[in-house]
Structure 1
Amino acid sequence: MAGGVPIQTMTLSDGYLTGRALVFPISLITSLFFLWGFSYGLLDVLNKHFQTVLDITKLQSTGLQVMYFGGGYLLFSPIAAEVLKRRGYKITVLMGLTLYSLGAILFWPTAHFSTYQNRIASFGGFCVCTLVIACGLATLETAANSYAVVIGNPTSASARLQFCQSWNGVASFIGPLIASKFFFTGANANNLVNVQFVYLAVACAGVVVAVIFIFAKLPEVSESALQGSEQMILRDDDGNVIAQGPLYKQYNMIFGFVAQFCYVGAQVTIASFFINYVTELKDASYSSSEAANFLSYALITFTVGRFIATALATVFQPDFLMIVYTCCAIAFNGYVCAGVGRATVGVLIVLFFFEAPMYPTIFTLGTANLGRHTRRGAGILVMGVAGGAVFPPIQGAVADAASTHISYIVPLVGFVYVLGYVAFHWLRHGRHIFRVKDIVVSGEVGIEGGAMCKVQDGKYVEHAEKNDP
């Protein structure tokens, strides 16, 4: 557009960034993780707040999750992936920030004109606002997760994404902390006034980050760099050619998508019904405000778990680490379903620790070795977030029919599938416990004499053959 602000970009056509060169782009991308973590933290609290103010059932309140994860992530992620492939990371990020800010601004008039008489229509309006925000977040997540993986050394991709996702956790517990003070106390407990101001602040934050991205020189990973692997014969541990067939034959990615679907469904239901679970304890009398504080503690635990998992991912193989974490999650989730007494709240909080590294690890495992399919594969893995639209209504129906405690069997089913996926991946890829630097890389790093090499413990140990023209 004539007279417009030029978008500053730098193309990274070969290799990947290392050392200090990684600091600036990773910092920019981390700001996006913070934005959607904050938005997600608010969503779980609004779920309970709308039940109180708008007098809707638990099942009806899950409409927010359906719009957020189903409408935004399931339907819009493929569009975001196509924009990412055609226009690059920076344009995709700016598109996501625009949608994010627009959806947040729309919360203002929706909350302002909400009354008890038009409460059902008002809730529908909030669902539409949530949908617009979710489209923006799906776009940001498609770009940011993929960028964090491909911009640096592939051997540290899991740890790098774990670190970026950790700041998502930092923001996600700030949301409930704010909500417990502004949504559930005093006169604010029965109105939507402060919802307007909180989401206006969210919109302003999105605009500020967008301006920073417009003027920042974000290194762009070119399509040729991602497709560089196509010029070589890449093989897995069993000698099978990888990343050469069509997208629908990338079976690891497909099973990774299902695992992501199940995990996110489990994570969302655990958080969405957390406040209901705590306030319905028979031998305790916790208020919604106290329960929101407990949710903040749980999300702090989740965040600490992400940072600890980041450190562990530099030592242990990601799939092995996931087996340990998922087994613990299944055990704690089972206790939450059957346990009694106040101790169950502590167990539920600890459960957040063990689910913490699952999303970034599954994303890294599912998008590994995709070559020319990397960007579309990232969009498909992000589509797995749609599990958050399917699991909550099921759990809501069980909670309404039986109890919230019993309804926690729904996320337990999700964790069981995740365990199956990561266990099969671990068995299929060498059964390593400690991290093995054994990958195929392309570009300036990992090239010896113009041929691709396998790199193990920093040494070239094997050449890969080039494709014949």
Structure 2
Amino acid sequence: MPARAATSHPLALAVTTAVFFLWGFLTGLNDVLIPHLKAVFELNYARSMLIQFTFFGAYFVMSLPAGRVVARLGYRHGMVAGLIVAGLGALAFLPAAQLQSYALFLGALFVLASGITLLQVAANPYVSLLGDEAGASSRLTLAQALNSLGHTLAPAFGGLLILSVAVLGADAFAQLSTEQQIHYRADQAAAVQLPYLGLGLTLFALALFVYLFRLPRLGETTERDLAAAPGYAATLAHRPLRLAIIGIFVYVGAEVSIGSFLINYLSRPEIGAMSEAAAANYVSYYWGGAMLGRFGGSLLLRVFAPAQLLMLFAAIAASLLLTSTLSSGQLALWSIVAVGLFNSILFPTLFTLGIQGLGPLTARGSSLLVMAIVGGAVVPLLQGLLADRIGLQPAFVLPLACYAYIVWYGWQHGRSAAAARAVQA
């Protein structure tokens, strides 16, 4: 198969990848926020997973409205609106920390994630249109590599600024006076203020830059086009899209679930026996693997069939996760961290295979695929419930099942594509 052109709009792709980087950074900070707020508010695993449930639940609630906003504003202004909304959510962390309210933290996360939902709905299809359809998976994988770079840097950044302050155990906390407990909780909650203030200002600055940069209009779907196009029922009639929606749901669920529990998992005596701040560095390795895999995968996807690579990478990820679940020590540690490398091409490949051939239904299909990111809310919460009942390590059987579905999807899509080629021949 001949190599595919990367893009016919390199500057537009470069600007858009900056947006991918920043929302990856914001999402990656959740992996640090979870153990921090778990300790501050003395949460169990299930309640701490409300962070991811709220964050990724926003994708489900806001995806269809986001599709309408993007249809009304266009891809460029849709990205600007998403950056502004995300900036407001980041600034909302300041009063949440001041009032020491877990509920307000969750509310701020919902606003932040609503902005990222807008970015997802606008930026993913936009990147896929910046060149020929055959190279869409390669381009989106490259953009997602910058997203993974944000994920990679966020845990180290958050570990330095948020987890650097020692968290007291329940017994040590109980020995403090009432006044000391109040000051302690205030200091712990305030540790998140500076990082999110900086992020809020950065989001506003990037919104202004994207607004001023004249991104080309490519395949814009207007409100009139959306009204004239068949509805969501007709869009869901496309079987590849339906299966890709499930694939996005389970993939994001597995990826987020592993990242969410990684600090708690690696700090366990039988696995890594390290502090939470030290474990945060391995979360960076996990997302860094995805970044490296996406840079390499972007090249591989120009040569090999996307469905074949999807099946192969998902199978290796499942094998590594099974190894970690059945082992301990350094083998368990590095096998689960290595899963990130093979997560690399899964999301962009599932996304582009899902919207392939949708034509005027692409905007609706994109909204449905972004809605499926709610898997990042559901699967970690279910794993948290499992971990509270059967232990954290055995609970990784849930993301293992998610990877098994993606292996099947890659095989099924490849078989369908081969059958279609045989009919055409």
* TM more than 0.5: yes
Residue in 1 that maps onto 2:178:
none
1:310 corresponds to 2:289: no
Matches within 5 A, 1:213-232: 213-223=210-220
Contact 2:8 2:131 (8 Å CA) reproduced = no
The match for 1:101 among 78, 87, 106 is: 87
The match for 1:36 among 23, 29, 38 is: 23
- CA gap of 1:173–1:20, structure 2 versus 1, over 3 A, is closer
1:377 corresponds to 2:365: yes
Residue in 2 that maps onto 1:125:
104
Task: Specify the code of the residue in structure 2 equivalent to 1:113.
Answer: L
How far off is 1:86 after superposition? 3.1
Residue in 2 that maps onto 1:194:
191
Contact 1:188 1:194 (8 Å CA) reproduced = no
- CA gap of 1:33–1:284, structure 2 versus 1, over 3 A, is closer
Task: Specify the code of the residue in structure 2 equivalent to 1:133.
Answer: L
Task: Specify the code of the residue in structure 2 equivalent to 1:32.
Answer: V
Deviates more, 1:296-305 or 1:203-212: 296-305
- What is the CA–CA distance in structure 2 between the aligned matches of 1:282 and 1:217, rounded to whole Å? 54
Residue in 2 that maps onto 1:354:
342
How far off is 1:187 after superposition? 5.4
Residue in 2 that maps onto 1:336:
324
How far off is 1:25 after superposition? 1.0
Residue in 2 that maps onto 1:83:
69
- CA gap of 1:390–1:186, structure 2 versus 1, over 3 A, is closer
- What is the CA–CA distance in structure 2 between the aligned matches of 1:196 and 1:224, rounded to whole Å? 39
- What percent identity do the matched residue pairs reach? 30
How far off is 1:367 after superposition? 0.5
Residue in 2 that maps onto 1:52:
39
- What is the CA–CA distance in structure 1 between the aligned matches of 2:365 and 2:71, rounded to whole Å? 10
How far off is 1:218 after superposition? 1.1
Matches within 5 A, 1:261-410: 261-282=249-270, 284-410=272-398
- What is the CA–CA distance in structure 2 between the aligned matches of 1:394 and 1:159, rounded to whole Å? 33
- CA gap of 1:324–1:125, structure 2 versus 1, over 3 A, is same
How far off is 1:21 after superposition? 5.0
Deviations 1:146-198 (A, max 9, x none): 00001211111110000000000001111101111112224588712231000
**Aligned to 2:393, what secondary structure does the other structure show?**
helix
- What is the CA–CA distance in structure 2 between the aligned matches of 1:323 and 1:186, rounded to whole Å? 42
Q: Higher strand proportion, which one?
A: 1
Deviations 1:285-309 (A, max 9, x none): 2110111111112211121111111
- What is the CA–CA distance in structure 2 between the aligned matches of 1:185 and 1:174, rounded to whole Å? 16
How far off is 1:327 after superposition? 1.0
Contact 2:321 2:336 (8 Å CA) reproduced = yes
Residue in 2 that maps onto 1:415:
403
Residue in 2 that maps onto 1:145:
124
How far off is 1:341 after superposition? 2.1
Task: Specify the code of the residue in structure 1 equivalent to 2:62.
Answer: F
- What is the CA–CA distance in structure 2 between the aligned matches of 1:224 and 1:389, rounded to whole Å? 29
After TM superposition, which residue ranges in structure 1, 4 or more long, deviate above 4 angstroms?
A: 18-21, 187-190
1:25 corresponds to 2:12: yes
- What is the CA–CA distance in structure 2 between the aligned matches of 1:248 and 1:158, rounded to whole Å? 21
- What is the CA–CA distance in structure 2 between the aligned matches of 1:102 and 1:39, rounded to whole Å? 13
1:66 corresponds to 2:15: no
1:246 corresponds to 2:234: yes
**Aligned to 2:273, what secondary structure does the other structure show?**
coil
1:176 corresponds to 2:162: no
- What is the CA–CA distance in structure 2 between the aligned matches of 1:97 and 1:77, rounded to whole Å? 15
- CA gap of 1:326–1:184, structure 2 versus 1, over 3 A, is same
Task: Specify the code of the residue in structure 1 equivalent to 2:338.
Answer: V
Residue in 2 that maps onto 1:235:
none
- TM norm structure 1: 0.80
**Aligned to 1:219, what secondary structure does the other structure show?**
coil
**Aligned to 1:275, what secondary structure does the other structure show?**
helix
- What is the CA–CA distance in structure 1 between the aligned matches of 2:86 and 2:167, rounded to whole Å? 25
- What is the CA–CA distance in structure 2 between the aligned matches of 1:288 and 1:413, rounded to whole Å? 27
**Aligned to 1:221, what secondary structure does the other structure show?**
coil
- What is the CA–CA distance in structure 2 between the aligned matches of 1:373 and 1:360, rounded to whole Å? 18
Contact 2:271 2:332 (8 Å CA) reproduced = no
Number of corresponding residues: 398
Contact 2:290 2:344 (8 Å CA) reproduced = yes
- What is the CA–CA distance in structure 2 between the aligned matches of 1:313 and 1:378, rounded to whole Å? 21
Contact 1:82 1:376 (8 Å CA) reproduced = no
Contact 1:281 1:342 (8 Å CA) reproduced = no
Contact 2:32 2:163 (8 Å CA) reproduced = no
**Aligned to 2:131, what secondary structure does the other structure show?**
coil
- CA gap of 1:381–1:272, structure 2 versus 1, over 3 A, is same
Task: Specify the code of the residue in structure 2 equivalent to 1:45.
Answer: V
* Unmatched runs of 5 consecutive residues or more in structure 2: 169-183, 226-230
Quote the RMSD (CA, aligned, Å): 2.6
* Unmatched runs of 5 consecutive residues or more in structure 1: 1-17, 115-121, 229-242, 439-453, 455-461, 463-469
Deviations 1:65-84 (A, max 9, x none): 111111x1001011111222
Deviations 1:297-329 (A, max 9, x none): 221112111111111111111000111111111
Contact 2:324 2:331 (8 Å CA) reproduced = no
- CA gap of 1:284–1:90, structure 2 versus 1, over 3 A, is closer
Deviations 1:211-260 (A, max 9, x none): 112211111124489x99xxxxxxxxxxxxxx9x9213122111110110
- What is the CA–CA distance in structure 1 between the aligned matches of 2:97 and 2:120, rounded to whole Å? 27
**Aligned to 1:220, what secondary structure does the other structure show?**
coil
Q: Higher helix proportion, which one?
A: 2
- What is the CA–CA distance in structure 2 between the aligned matches of 1:65 and 1:52, rounded to whole Å? 16
How far off is 1:344 after superposition? 0.7
